[in-house]
Structure formats: C-alpha cells, structure tokens
Structure 1
Amino acid sequence: MYAIVEIAGQQFKVEKDQKIFVHRLEAEEGGQVEFAKVLLVDNEGEVAVGAPAIEGAKVTAKVLSHMKGDKVKVFKKKRRKGYKKLNGHRQYLSQIQIEEIVA
C-alpha cells in the first residue's frame, strides 16, 4: 500500500515504515504529525484518486530528527567585468518515518 501525499508544499510517494526528508516541520523530535492532504491511495491494486484530495484519508508520521541539509554553493559571474558573487545555502530539514496510511 502506498499513497501520494502533499507535505510542506511538495508531493511524496510514501509507504509504511519509510523514512524521508522533508522541509522543516513545526513539530518536536519524537512527536506525531498528521497529513490530511492525500492525493492518491493504492491499496493492492485498488486506486483511489482525489479531486484534489481524498476526504477522510490521512497519513501519520513520527518526526525522527531536525537537521540541516548539505551546503549548496551559488556562484554568479559576469565575464570581463570583474563581477563575482558567491553565496551558500543549507536547507533546514526534518526526517520523518511514515507510521500509518488510512484510506
């Protein structure tokens, strides 16, 4: 059984006991989070598609940890002009584990 759920503005295909990284959530480590915007559920061949979301369906997950992602360097340059700019960015992430999918 899997579901496609929208978490923090992004869509993820999730299954039970799967661990994924998502944008930082407003929950404490070890806490439970619930996602009600389930777009699709596949239960052993029976596919339910929402328009846009399935009513009554939800996905519950446990927040394992909060962290920062890898550094991404953003470098801009204009040739022959002496213009160079270097910026770095590290995304704040949360690691969650899917515990239950209710269709």
Structure 2
Amino acid sequence: MKYAIIEVNGKQFWIEENNFYDFTKINININQQIFFKKILLYRDNKTILLGQPYLSNTNIIIKGKVLKHLVKKKIIIYKFKSKKNYRRKKGYRHKITRILIENIFLKIK
C-alpha cells in the first residue's frame, strides 16, 4: 500500500493514489495540475521515509488534478441573550477545493 502524509494550508492529510480529497480553497483553475511540496511521510511496500518536519528529498513526486471548487454545508451560528430580546442568526459556507491524487512515486536516481 502506497501512501503519503502531506501538509496543505496548515493541515495534515493522509493521501493515497486515485482518491480525491477536499482541501481548504486553493486558488488554482479547474483541470490544472498541482504538485505538493510539503511531504511529511512517504511509504510504499519497501521504503518508509520520514521527514523532520518535511522531507528534504525532492525525489518524491505527488501529482494531483483539481476537479472542482465547492462550498460545504451551511453552518448556522445562533446567538441570544435570555431576557434581553437579543437574537442573531448567521450562516456560513466554507469554500473547499476537491483534488484527485493521480500519482505518488519515488524517483530513483
């Protein structure tokens, strides 16, 4: 099983090939390629590479493709103070980017 742990927008994600993941909005056009640089861990059947905190080895390539930009389900924020007739209702929808991880591989020299 081949996987990696990467950091995107200050959050860490366990990723595998041919799966899609939702990240906080990244300003990249749809169908554009993206390469991840902040790799914390890489593992395949033979090797395990662990960074401190990131892998300085640039032989690991993680390639993805932006599928679409979405907004998550609305979160309702409701404030009130009892006996004061103070009520506020707000909503918020978080913007996300869905990325398909195409390849994770170790380039051997």
The TM-score normalised by the length of structure 2 is: 0.87
- Structure 2, unpaired ranges of 5+: none
**Pick aligned residue for 1:68 from 67, 71, 74:** 71
Taking the aligned partners of 2:46 and 2:88, their CA distance within structure 1 comes to: 52
Corresponding residue number in structure 2 for 1:26 = 27
Point out the structure with the larger strand share: 1
Distance in 2 (alpha carbons) for counterparts of 1:67 and 1:26: 12
Q: Kindly, what percent of the aligned residue pairs are identical?
A: 29
Deviations 1:14-47 (A, max 9, x none): 0000111111111110000111000011112632
Q: Is 1:77 matched with 2:109?
A: no
Structure 1: which 5+ runs fail to align? none
**Of residues 94, 102, 107 in structure 2, which corresponds to 1:91?**
94
Runs of 4+ in 1 over 2 A off after TM superposition: none
The 2-side partners of 1:19 and 1:48 are apart by: 23
Q: Does the Cα contact within 8 Å between 1:39 and 1:54 map onto a contact in 2?
A: yes
Specify the alignment match of 2:42 in structure 1: 41
Across the two proteins, how many residue pairs are aligned to each other? 103
